[in-house]
């Protein structure tokens, strides 16, 4: 079992609030938490709740969170929205019910499913409670003390939308696309990877912000894409950042998600290649790239050069990707001709109409 995130909260927002408004206790994401045998997690609301309580700690699968995020019309939301303590990776939690198991040397006893409550329909969206039944996580007791630590942290996400699109003559993010806009479509692609937090790199005068995203505004005269990437990587709560440009609608969420997973597991940047060229604007960047990115910003170097240097240093993997549809997932929308060609292909793609824009306007 890997641990993607740890969450604790000092008070109850949903538990015991039936018929009332939810509480307002913040839930904190922490890098490590102390487990106290027979008691629970230090700093959490269920610590010493009552003797032999079956929910001293709760586990929830990252895979379930990602699957829910991929469902149509699901708004972007963090994994702590479910208010479970331990976000796991790579284990079937249902198989641990009634069993003792060990994580990082700490012994737990699986008790039963952490059944979803009606509050999930409010925390995420209507229908979430029913969808989560049977996969709501695991309630467990703490049998031995020690510290749990995050060892495979979730990635943040950055959508690049600050380009001036001079050849197109208008903001690419506002271009009609499917039933919405290109910006909403790409925001949905990035949201479906499960990354959190989600950021939008844009110019100050661009009014559009997708729901669930925070703005990183370009500073006049600064370094554009590289500057935004540096700022996001430096401030992200985890070392991996998924980067997606708004004008790359052919990149599937599954491909970007695979790069992110590889970067998280291997602790380096993963930038796909197509026809021998790195594709840095649909990639997973690791914090270890920051020195080279800063050097490139200082000397006005290119991201292609950064990728080459990182490969030489063993800090970047660059898998060659075959086109998913035989025509180039990394093609940019730079001209009216590009837009006409890709819009036509999108409209004819199987399931295109059902590929919902999961990040609405705010």
- 14 and 141 both lie in a single domain: yes
Together in a domain, 163 and 311: yes
* 359 falls within a domain: no
- 232 and 330 part of one domain: yes
- Render pLDDT for 288-332 as a digit per residue (tens, 0 to 9): 999 999 999 999 999 999 999 999 999 999 998 765 544 457 777
| Residues of the chain below pLDDT 50 | 325-327, 350-362
Domain stop point among 123, 149, 175: 149
Evaluate whether residue 87 is within a structural domain.
yes
Domain CATH code at residue 250? 3.90.550.10
* 177 is a domain residue: yes
- Residue 163 and residue 138 share a domain: no
- Are the C-beta atoms of residues 199 and 157 closer than 8 Å to each other? yes
Distances (CA, A) of 129 to 46, 113, 315: 22, 13, 42
Query: In this predicted structure, what is the pLDDT of residue 276?
Result: 85
321 and 292 fall within a common domain: yes
Tell me the CATH number at 127. Answer: 2.40.33.20
- Asked if residues 159 and 151 have their Cβ atoms less than 8 Å apart, the reply is no
Model pTM score: 0.86
Q: In this predicted structure, what is the pLDDT of residue 327?
A: 44
pLDDT of residue 17: 59
- Look at residue 361 and tell me if it is in a domain: no
Answer yes or no: is 312 within a domain: yes
The per-residue pLDDT for 219 is: 72
CA-derived radius of gyration, the chain: 22
Is 360 among the domain residues?
A: no
Q: Residue 206 has which token pair? A: 């661009």
Q: Is 176 exposed, middle or buried, given 0-12, 13-18 or 19+ CB atoms closer than 10 A?
A: exposed
Last residue of a domain, one of 149, 165, 185: 149
Question: Helices in 239-289 by DSSP H: which ranges?
Answer: 253-266
Q: Which one of 149, 177, 210 terminates a domain?
A: 149
In terms of domains, do 142 and 171 share one? no
Domain extent for 23: 2-149
Residue reference for tokens 């925001």: 187
Q: Is there a single domain that holds both residue 100 and residue 170? A: no
170 shares its domain with 314: yes
d(CA 58, CA 45) in angstroms, rounded, equals 12
Are 314 and 263 found together in one domain?
yes
In a domain, 200, yes or no: yes
Provide the residue count of the chain.
362
Same domain (yes/no): 315, 295: yes
Measure the CA–CA gap between 113 and 64, rounded to whole angstroms: 14
Mark whether 110 and 235 lie in a shared domain: no
Residue 242 placed within a domain: yes
Let me know whether 87 and 160 are in one domain: no
Integer CA distances (angstroms), 248 to 144, 182, 244, in order:
49, 9, 7
User: 248: cis peptide before it, omega within 30°?
Assistant: no
What is the reported pLDDT for 185? Answer: 92
How many domains are contained in the chain? Answer: 2
Q: What is the reported pLDDT for 356?
A: 37
């Amino acid at each position: 079992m890997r641990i993607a995130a740890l969450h604790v909260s000092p008070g109850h927002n949903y538990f015991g609030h039936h018929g009332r408004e939810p509480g307002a206790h913040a839930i904190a994401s922490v890098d490590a938490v102390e487990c106290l045998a027979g008691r629970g997690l230090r700093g959490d609301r269920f610590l010493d709740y009552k003797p032999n309580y079956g929910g001293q700690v709760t586990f929830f699968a990252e895979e379930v969170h990602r699957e829910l995020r991929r469902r149509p019309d699901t708004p972007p939301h963090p994994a702590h929205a479910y208010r479970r303590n331990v976000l796991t990776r790579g284990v079937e939690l249902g198989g641990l019910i009634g069993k003792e198991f060990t994580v990082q040397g700490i012994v737990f006893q699986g008790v039963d499913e952490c059944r979803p409550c009606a509050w999930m329909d409010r925390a995420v969206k209507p229908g979430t409670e029913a969808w989560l039944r049977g996969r709501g996580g695991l309630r467990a007791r703490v049998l031995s003390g020690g510290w749990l630590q995050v060892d495979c942290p979730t990635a943040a996400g950055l959508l690049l939308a600050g380009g001036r699109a001079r050849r197109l003559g208008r903001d690419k993010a506002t271009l009609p696309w499917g039933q919405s806009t290109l910006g909403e479509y790409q925001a949905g692609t990035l949201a479906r990877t499960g990354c959190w937090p989600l950021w939008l790199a844009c110019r100050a005068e661009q009014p559009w912000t997708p729901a669930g995203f925070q703005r990183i505004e370009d500073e006049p005269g600064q370094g554009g894409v590289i500057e935004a990437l540096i700022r996001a990587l430096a401030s992200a709560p985890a070392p991996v950042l998924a980067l997606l440009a708004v004008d790359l609608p052919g990149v599937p969420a599954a491909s970007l998600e695979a790069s992110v997973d590889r970067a998280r597991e291997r602790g380096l940047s993963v930038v796909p290649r197509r026809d021998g060229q790195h594709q840095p604007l649909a990639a997973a960047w690791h914090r270890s790239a920051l020195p080279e990115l800063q050097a490139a910003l200082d000397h006005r170097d290119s991201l292609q050069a950064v990728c080459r240097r990182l490969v030489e240093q063993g800090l970047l993997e660059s898998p060659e990707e075959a086109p998913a549809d035989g025509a180039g997932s990394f093609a940019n929308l730079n001209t009216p001709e590009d837009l006409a060609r890709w819009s036509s292909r999108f409209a004819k793609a199987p399931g295109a109409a059902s590929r919902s824009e999961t990040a609405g306007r705010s």
